[in-house]
Amino acid sequence: MTETPVSAADLQALLVTLKLAGLTTLLLILFGTPLAWWLARTNGRLRAPVEALVALPLVLPPTVLGFYLLLAMGPGGPLAGLSLAFSFGGLLLGSMIYSLPFVVQPLRDAFAAIGEQPLEAAACLGAGPLDRFRSVVLPLARPGYLTAAVLGFAHTLGEFGVVLMIGGNIPGETRVLSIAVYEHVESLDYARAHVLAAGLLLVSFLLLLLVYASGYGRRVTP
């Protein structure tokens, strides 16, 4: 390991990556909660199309998604004027779209599993909507939140195609870990690539282990 120290540039890429994954997860949990709640409760006509939209980032190849974001951020696009291209803000938006299903779907399932009964019981005891959410839904949906957070974080950690397309590889701003690994591999600096890739794998494995050890996939009935 003395031969292959992690360079300052790689550490910077690591920091950008952690910041990106952290903020993406936080924002997705915040905005994903009402969306997932609505998806879990509604039977309206809009449910199916919204569900499909949420799942769409699973289908599109990330570079394609990134290319359309790049077009959208260009002068003729709907996001023109926000100067999102080649900025951390742009990456954040891209990551939120890219990781949306990984956060919303576990939350939706967790909310759906709670059912009506606990909420009705709480209402009978005089709890208002906010109180019901805080003291009934949140504790019961905790495994769902953990899963959503870890999957959202891990998925953003491994994000590559979208960042490649809209990032522009600016150190300290848009150069993330996956891009750094790719750069090392492509420039035949395999030793450095191995160190970063091994680190990324290890962290991702531990995160996923956390999810599965916490019982994701097993039916949790309150």
Partner 1 sequence: MPGSRFLLAALLFVFLLPVWATPGEVRIAVAANFAPTLRVLAEDFSADTGHRVQISSGSTGKHYAQIRNGALFDVFLAADSARPTRLEAEGIGIPGSRFTYAVGRLVLWVPGQTGIDRPQDYLRNARFRHLAIANPRLAPYGVAAQQVLETWQLWDRLQEKLVRGENVAQAYQFVATGNAQSGLVALSQLLQGDRAGPGAFRIIPDGLHTPIMQDALLLRSGTAAQAFLKYLRSESAARLIRNAGYGLPGHS
Residues that bind partner 1 (CB under 8 A): 67, 70-71, 73-76, 83, 85-86, 164-165, 168-170, 182-183, 185-188
> Which residue's CB is nearer to partner 1, number 70 or number 203?
70
Q: Which residue has the tokens 């970063």?
A: 196
Nearest to 145 by CA among 29, 20, 19: 29
Closest separation between CB of residue 172 and partner 1, Å? 11
Nearest to 118 by CA among 103, 98, 133: 133
Closest separation between CB of residue 88 and partner 1, Å? 13
> Which residue's CB is nearer to partner 1, number 67 or number 133?
67
CA dist 216 and 222 (Å) reads: 15
> Which residue's CB is nearer to partner 1, number 22 or number 168?
168
CA dist 32 and 148 (Å) reads: 10
Structural contact between residues 110 and 41, judged by C-beta atoms closer than 8 angstroms: no
Terminal CA-CA length for the chain: 49
> Which residue's CB is nearer to partner 1, number 122 or number 165?
165
Closest separation between CB of residue 164 and partner 1, Å? 6
Closest separation between CB of residue 76 and partner 1, Å? 7
